[in-house]
Structure 1
Amino acid sequence: MFKHLVNNLWNKGAFEAGKRCRPFSYIFTSGFHGGQVLFAPRSFFGVEDFVDDDNSRPYTYQKEKKSKNPHKHISFKNRTIAYMEPFTLDVFISKRFVSASLTHRVTSKQVAVAGTNSKDIKAVLKSRSDIPACLAIGQILADRAREADVYTASYTPRERDKFEGKIRAVVQSLIDNGIDVKVYLN
């Protein structure tokens, strides 16, 4: 296609001797900036620098994600909850095992962890995923949390989880063993 363009210009007399001709550029009309070509010095990498529509500054992509509503008010509770209630409880229950952990919100470090897959707990339990296993995990997690000087935690169930059965058994066991757990239900 480029060869065809050069041949057309050659036949029209654009490259006659003695005439001063301006260098040309082939313009794609259905592409970046609607085919607009800017005669700017080439950049270090050999790619033309594109400017905005008002020719004010180089065309750049914004890396950070902007809020849809920049004037949105963030409540005091949303700003301070990570510091007022720094520890969160995470409970995971599958068909084969149960695990629970207490995590510090600000530093994202796990303070206490208990699960039925560990060797010492696995040997004692009859089943690794029933209600007595959940009660044992709650008791062990409460002991480990007290060793780490954690006495309060907050728990928000995942969207797919209901606060009943095995999850409730783990949380109730934590409460019974001296850890104050605030449960936030949707």
Structure 2
Amino acid sequence: MLRLLSCKLWERVNGGINIGPLSCAQSSGFHSSQSYFAPRSFFGVEDFLDDDNSRPYTYQKEKKSKNPNKHVSFKQRTVAYMEPFTLDVFISKRFVSASITHRVTSKQVAVAGTNSKDIKAVLKSRSDILACLAVGRILADRAREADVYTASYTPRERDKFEGKIRAVVQSLIDSGIDIKVFLD
């Protein structure tokens, strides 16, 4: 506020001449009772008087490209709308879970896992290949109820498309859900 007032006063005195990137603060002269304007120091206390310190420093939440003029291809902009459903498979040492998510709204359309009560009672083991096949069949039934017949699957970086993950995807395909697998 002080900076704003002093710069407005400076513009009035000098007829609207701006001195560029430097901002001005008022200081008084030694040998006269007149006041004059001097360039503001970069390291003085007055640098912090006008700053709004009511909010703590926070990082920007959204990811911004290092190059704001970078071209984003048509495919990158439209792939979420052309193939709106994605399959997510999570396998731990104790459980298997899979879900189909709508990419644009980030809502889960169908979910199945070996940790749920109805599947837990039927299976002998909750993390073997038979459990993965059961999760795939149940997920396919729930996806059909939600009118989802196609989905895309991209494995995580640490996952290989073999074994239990492949069993879940294969059981979905066998149950009538068209899965498009993207392998790098």
Same fold (TM over 0.5): yes
What amino acid is the match of 2:112? A
Alignment of 1:29-178 (within 5 A): 34-35=42-43, 47-49=49-51, 66-178=64-176
More strand, by proportion: 2
What is the TM-score with the length of structure 1 in the denominator? Answer: 0.70
Task: Give the TM-score, by structure 2 length.
Answer: 0.70
Which amino acid is the alignment partner of residue 97 of structure 2? S
Which amino acid in 2 is paired with 1:35?
A: F
Looking at structure 1, the residues matched to 150 and 92 of structure 2 have their Cα atoms a distance apart, in angstroms, of 26
Q: Which amino acid aligns with 2:90?
A: F
Q: Which residue of 2 aligns with 1:3?
A: none
Residues 66 and 176 from structure 1, CA distance in 2 versus in 1: closer, same or farther, beyond 3 angstroms?
Answer: closer
Runs of 4+ more than 6 Å apart: none
- Distance (Å, rounded) in 2 between the aligned partners of 1:178 and 1:37: 71
Q: Which letter maps to 1:48?
A: D
Quote the offset at 1:37 in angstroms: 7.0
Return the alpha-carbon distance in structure 2 between the equivalents of residues 78 and 96 of structure 1.
36
CA RMSD after TM alignment: 3.4
Partners of 2:106 and 2:63 in 1: how far apart? 22
The amino acid across from 1:117 in the alignment is: N
Shift of 1:19: 7.1
- Go from structure 1 to structure 2 and tell me whether the alpha carbon gap of 1:62 and 1:113 turns closer, same or farther (over 3 Å shift): closer
Match of 1:30 in 2: none
SS, match of residue 75 in structure 2: helix
2:179 and 2:64 map into 1 onto residues whose CA distance is 35
Identity %: 78
Give secondary structure in 2 for the equivalent of 1:175: helix
Separation (CA, whole Å) in 2 of partners of 1:82 and 1:66: 19
- Deviation digits for residues 77-126 of structure 1 (CA, Å, limit 9, x no counterpart): 10100000000000000000100000000111000000000011000001
* Structure 1 residue 65, shift from structure 2 partner: 5.4
Residues 47, 37 of structure 1: CA spacing in aligned structure 2 closer, same or farther, 3 A cutoff?
closer
Task: Report how many residues are paired.
Answer: 149
Partners of 2:83 and 2:71 lie apart in 1 by 21
CA deviation after TM superposition for structure 1 residue 70, in Å: 2.2
Stretches of structure 1 that go unaligned for 5 or more consecutive residues are 1-15, 28-32, 40-45, 51-60
What is the CA-CA distance between 1:75 and the residue it aligns to?
Answer: 1.1
* Structure 1 residues 86 and 171: alpha-carbon distance in aligned structure 2, compared to 1, 3 A threshold: same
Question: Radius of gyration: which is bigger?
Answer: 1
Deviations 1:42-81 (A, max 9, x none): xxxx93259xxxxxxxxxx995654222222111110100
